[in-house]
Structure formats: C-alpha cells, structure tokens
Structure 1
C-alpha cells in the first residue's frame, strides 16, 4: 500500500496519523510540490485532480484525505473506535471532518500556506475568516464537552483539525483567547506523542518556510499566482 504525500501538507499528515494510530504499514512516497510534480500528466494518472494525498491500495486509487481515512478505518480496522460504528458518534466524526474541510481549513490555509506559496496578502478579510472559524470550533468543543472533538478518546476527526492548527502555530498566529481550542490542542500534543510527532514534522517545515520561503521558480500553477521571490 502506497501513500503519496507532501511533507508539510495537512491532508497528508492527517492520513499518516491515521495509519499510525491503527498501526497499518504503508509505503510513503514524497511528492515534490515545489517543482509541481503533482501537476504532471504522470501524476494525473494517479489523481486527475492533481492534488495530494493519493492512496494506492494494490491498484485501488483513492484521493481526498477524508475518503482515505474513512476507507482505511473501514477496511483495515472496522472495529476501531477511531471511526466508531455508533450512528451518532460516526455522524459527529463525519461532521467534524466536513467542518474542517469546508470551514476551518478553508479559512486557515489561504491565510497561512496560501500567502507563503502564492502572491496573496494576509489581510483583514482573511484574518476575520480565521477568527470566525476559530469561534465556531470553540463553540463545537463547548457543546460536545469532551476531551477530544467528538469523544473522550481520539477519533480520525481530530487529525485534520490538529493539522489545520499547525498552520496557525507555524506562523505564530495568536489563538490563546480560544481557550477550549487551545486546551484540546495542547492535550492532543501531550497525550499522543507518537501522533503529534507526525504533525510536528509538518509544523517545523511550515515554521521554516514562513521565515525562509522556498524557491518556487519551477512551479507553474494553472490557477494561483506563484510567489517567485525568495523572501516575503
């Protein structure tokens, strides 16, 4: 089983954390985002969307990190509480996965990684979107009243939210006033060192490229204006 990833990509990190939690072996294949390896026709044979990650399970190709995490749980660990069978708990897990992708990460990524890789500014509108996303997440944690985002144990719903948070931490974004979010995030780090080590690897990359943006002169993105300069 192969997983095509990028080292600082939150969706890739969330998939890797799922494999780690379930103790499922896989071959990790790094995709060079900075030179546009994912935009090639060769990569398009794996994923016509030309996005990362992609799972190759003995010829079965699957993209979209949420689908990958759900598939891995259903096929290889169907009795795991990481993706509970109880309809209510599973609905909450699915909701938090969708919430992260549609609302939380979609607000955070443009303000953090988007401004590192592309010629987009960090402006007041982007900041407001991030604050609004954090406010909603804070409310969900208040309503659920558990240690983690769905239950008092880890589920796959925690992973994408953690990897969204590393984007904020990576640019030293202040989030202390969101006390429940901060407590959940710090609890995850403290109580899950092996899982956190995966996310922390991505965090360190983000911290480095925030200070020293990578050379993207070979990246020809079809939509976004690539930042060509070596510094902000």
Structure 2
C-alpha cells in the first residue's frame, strides 16, 4: 500500500519531508491539506493527529506526525544505511542535535517573525527580529566550528532539509543575510548541489513570497485562525 503524506505546499516541515521521499525515491501519495480552509482543524484530521498540525504520514494505517519523526522513520525503515541519516552514533547525534536546534530555536524564531505575521494575528517586532538574528548567529557558529560542508556532516542530511526549509522563509521576505557569510555559503551550496531537493524548497518559497505580498483572507468568522483571535504560533506548519 502506498504511503500518504498529508502536507501543505508552502509549509517548511512538509517540504522537508517531501525532500526525503524524493531523495530516497520512495513512492507516496501527496495529499494537499487546505490550511486556509482549516481542513487540519476537522475532527477527521484530529483522528490522525490530535495536535492538528501538518504534516502527517499515513503508512498503511500507522499515523505519524512531527516532521522530524517522519524523516527519521522514513530513513530508518527504507534506507537504514543511507548517509542522509547516518548510523554512526556520533554523526547521528550531531544530525539529531541540528534537528532539535531547528525545531526549538532556529525555525521557531523564523516562523514567529516570517510566517506568523502572514497567517496569524502577529506583527514583526524588534524582539522577533532579534531572535532571528540570534538564531542565525548560532547557525553561523555551528557551521564555522563544525568545519563541515553541510550543517552536520560533509554530506547532506535530514538536518539540512529542516534547516534549509526554515531558511527559505527568510529569502521569501527578502531578509538580509549578508552578515552571515557561512549561512549564505551553505544555503547556496545546497541549491547548487541538490537541484531536485531545491525544486521542492523553491516552490514553497515562491508561495510564501506571494503570501507575503498578498496575505490570505482569513476574515470569515468560522475560520479557526480568524485575525481577531490570538492563535498559537506552531512550528508544525
């Protein structure tokens, strides 16, 4: 039975998971979740993921949410010896660290500054900008001190997928990265050396850029993220 991935076309976590499917050449059915219509807030969706976040994997009735867990699962089940998720304990530990760093520190700051003002009732502030710059400074440090071509090792790993798809949000709003030369070098290298993965990321980035120029209309009162409500800023979309 072909796996199903419930995803959004511009959501960084969804894009990262799609990169794993593409890189490992795993067949799957991509099911687009209409975030604007609130399809992920339905009772039916909640049966798959009580958190009501995106993406969700359906592997023959085995439901798994959280993009990191999905990427790890796909690698462990379908490509256990692939360097995309190395088996060496030390290397895997660094990959896992970068994934945690992205979820809790890097994308969380970027999401609040870039995505929340588009999809939620939030504003970009000096504090949100400070948090993004702090996150970029830390990534710059990891890239410098790690001395590797990519975020965790000398080859692309699932950590890069997560971090790259977070960084596209900055490009989408024309964020100035010029003071982070190693971040730029890593980001541009990914684009050049991983063209198939970049096609996925770039398509999502272009959508975010369009939403930045023309925010979606969430004024209908039945929408769970009506602008008059303070909604949770989630890293799961």
Q: Give the TM interval when normalised to the shorter protein.
A: over 0.9
SS of equivalent residue, structure 2 residue 36: helix
- Alpha-carbon distance in structure 2 between the residues aligned to 1:224 and 1:151: 42
SS of equivalent residue, structure 1 residue 112: helix
- Alpha-carbon distance in structure 2 between the residues aligned to 1:9 and 1:82: 21
Cα deviation 1:142-168 (Å, max 9, x = unaligned): 011111111111111100100010000
Question: Could you tell me which of 105, 123, 139 is aligned with 1:103?
Answer: 105
Gap regions ≥5 residues in structure 1:
227-232
Question: Could you tell me which of 221, 225, 228 is aligned with 2:230?
Answer: 225
- Alpha-carbon distance in structure 1 between the residues aligned to 2:42 and 2:57: 17
Contact 2:218 2:225 in 1 (8 A): no
Within 5 Å, which residues of 2 pair with 1:196-211?
Answer: 196-211=198-213
- Alpha-carbon distance in structure 2 between the residues aligned to 1:189 and 1:224: 38
SS of equivalent residue, structure 2 residue 158: coil
Aligned residues: 226
Within 5 Å, which residues of 2 pair with 1:106-125?
Answer: 106-125=108-127
- Residue of structure 2 equivalent to 1:13: 15
- Residue of structure 2 equivalent to 1:189: 191
What is the TM-score normalised by the length of structure 2?
0.93
Cα deviation 1:151-210 (Å, max 9, x = unaligned): 111111100100010000000010111000000000000111100000001000001000
SS of equivalent residue, structure 1 residue 27: strand
SS of equivalent residue, structure 2 residue 5: strand
Question: Could you tell me which of 53, 58, 61 is aligned with 1:59?
Answer: 61
Contact 2:120 2:225 in 1 (8 A): no
1:221 is displaced (CA, Å) by 3.0
- Alpha-carbon distance in structure 2 between the residues aligned to 1:98 and 1:139: 16
- Alpha-carbon distance in structure 1 between the residues aligned to 2:229 and 2:104: 19
Cα deviation 1:82-122 (Å, max 9, x = unaligned): 00000000000000000000000010001001001112111
- Residue of structure 2 equivalent to 1:158: 160
- Residue of structure 2 equivalent to 1:139: 141
1:217 is displaced (CA, Å) by 2.8
- Alpha-carbon distance in structure 2 between the residues aligned to 1:152 and 1:224: 45
- Residue of structure 1 equivalent to 2:235: none
- CA-based RMSD: 1.3
What is the TM-score normalised by the length of structure 1?
0.95
- Residue of structure 2 equivalent to 1:230: none
- Alpha-carbon distance in structure 2 between the residues aligned to 1:97 and 1:124: 26
1:224 is displaced (CA, Å) by 5.2
- Alpha-carbon distance in structure 2 between the residues aligned to 1:119 and 1:72: 35
Gap regions ≥5 residues in structure 2:
232-237
- Alpha-carbon distance in structure 1 between the residues aligned to 2:94 and 2:230: 37
